[in-house]
Amino acid sequence: MPRGRLIPVTDLLTRTAQDAAAAAHLLEGVVRRTPVERARWLAEPLGVDVHLKCENLQRAGSFKIRGAYTRIARLSEDQRRRGVVAASAGNHAQGVALAAALLGTPATVFMPEGASLVKERATRGYGADVLFAGTTVDSAVEAALEHAARSGAVFVHPFDHPDVVAGQGSVGLEILQQVPDVATVVVCLGGGGLLAGVAATVKHARPDVHVIGVQASGAAAYPPSLWAGHPVPLESMSTMADGIAVGRPGDLPFSIIRDHVDEVVTVDEDKISAALVRLAERNKLVCEPAGAVAVAALADGLVPVDGPVVATVSGGNIDPLLMLRVIRHGLAADGRYLAFTTAIQDRPGALAQLLAHLAGAGANVLDVVHERTRSSLAVDAVEVMVVVETRGRPHRDRILAALAGDGYVVSESPGPETPADGPGQTRENAGPAQGRRRRE
């Protein structure tokens, strides 16, 4: 599909919905009908039933197998013999690799440098050749297109193709079947394939359902594109949610989302990591950052919702090392860590006295660092930075109040792996309110 040319909207919704129904039939016995789980921890503050569509439990760890298999299965025999090529940060790569293996088609996948090791290994494990190009998905796409031109392989776009959008639309059909009275559907948004497919199937069957897209604020190409009326590429991106870090909306998805999605909002890194932690704690779901953004938007009250609500948990492919960092980041964002500095007398027993006060407040001390050389300190004083574990923000506030009551002058500190220096931090980017777009 030529870049920069939007798809005519006439009958686009109907055609996409019908194509998604055909794709759902094609996918029977290939993909899993992923479960829908209740999320009571979200339902209580929102006052409506909330369900999670668990595509993190899909084959290859995300919804991407749906679109990839649909696209490759609809190729001619000659095209499948020549092979397919794709570009992805990981989830589309795995979907293409698995789909190609199931259909007996050679596959080459281009990934950006720094892509998740877990996703790279899984892609190779499904039998695809993996090559690296550039530092973004867009760079990998360019390299994949060049490879397709040289080799004759068919390029399988991660989101900007009718077959891919149709395959992803099967998620929407399952939502309608599993939660027939659904009133709001909240979907993660990168290039737009999943949101466009879900919006087409849901709105075609139930125009009254609100469909909402969610992007990471550090990689939010859709809000400025929607305001402009056409896809606008981002100049830069920074987010831990690599699975939806796409610099330019796809032409076909944009055409559907522009006219049939009710709202697009953005969430920052703190909210994404906190949602990932809550999904693990409360629903026992392993989720990658990109897969948690819809839940993050609900947890932070960014969108008005009618119930029942279904939020997509789109993927679970997360590197264990990143998971450790994101969990610590999420705990800090949720007020479960407190780092502070205070000055104490440089004499035996002063530190033990401070630690005793913390123990009395129920704080679990994780780390203590001394500083004696700061010029502003008195000769007989030492500054200590303490990191403690708390039971949440109310407990954190009680600890600070107790220290002040005991005479300590406390300054909060970012500390290790807190929101000020956690992975993918993007405080310089537009916040959620600036990323909203509501249909009038």
CA distance 386 to 81: 62
Q: Report, as residue numbers or ranges, the catalytic residues.
A: 64, 314
pLDDT tens-digit profile of 149-202?
A: 999 999 999 999 999 999 999 999 999 999 999 999 999 999 999 999 999 999
Pick from 139, 187, 138: which is nearest to 165 by CA?
Answer: 187
CA distance 62 to 313: 9
Q: How many CB atoms lie within 10 A of CB 74?
A: 16
Class of domain 67-156: alpha beta
> In 312-392, which ranges are continuous DSSP H helix?
320-333, 350-360
Q: What is the pTM of this model?
A: 0.80
CA distance 246 to 75: 26
The topology under which CATH files domain 12-63+162-330 is Rossmann fold (3.40.50)
CB 168 within 8 A of CB 157: no
pLDDT tens-digit profile of 106-156?
A: 999 998 887 777 788 899 999 999 999 888 777 888 999 999 999 999 999
Beta bridge pairs of residue 185: 211, 310
CA distance 364 to 411: 18
Beta bridge pairs of residue 101: none
CA distance 150 to 337: 53
Q: List where CATH 3.40.50.1100 sits in the chain.
A: 12-63+162-330, 67-156
Q: How large is the C-alpha radius of gyration of the chain?
A: 24
Poorest-pLDDT segment among 1-15, 220-234, 321-335: 1-15
pLDDT tens-digit profile of 200-226?
A: 999 999 999 999 999 999 999 999 999
Confidence band, pLDDT 50/70/90 cuts, at residue 375: low
**Residues whose CB is less than 8 angstroms from the CB of residue 406 and which lie 6 or more positions away in sequence, other chains included:** 357
Q: List where CATH 3.30.70.260 sits in the chain.
A: 335-412
**Residues whose CB is less than 8 angstroms from the CB of residue 173 and which lie 6 or more positions away in sequence, other chains included:** 20, 21, 24, 201
Q: Which amino acid is at 50?
A: V
54 has pLDDT over 60: yes
329 has pLDDT over 90: no
Q: Which listed CATH number (3.30.70.260, 3.40.50.620, 3.40.630.30, 3.40.50.2300) goes with 335-412? A: 3.30.70.260
CA distance 244 to 247: 9
Pick from 73, 75, 74, 100: which is nearest to 85 by CA?
Answer: 100
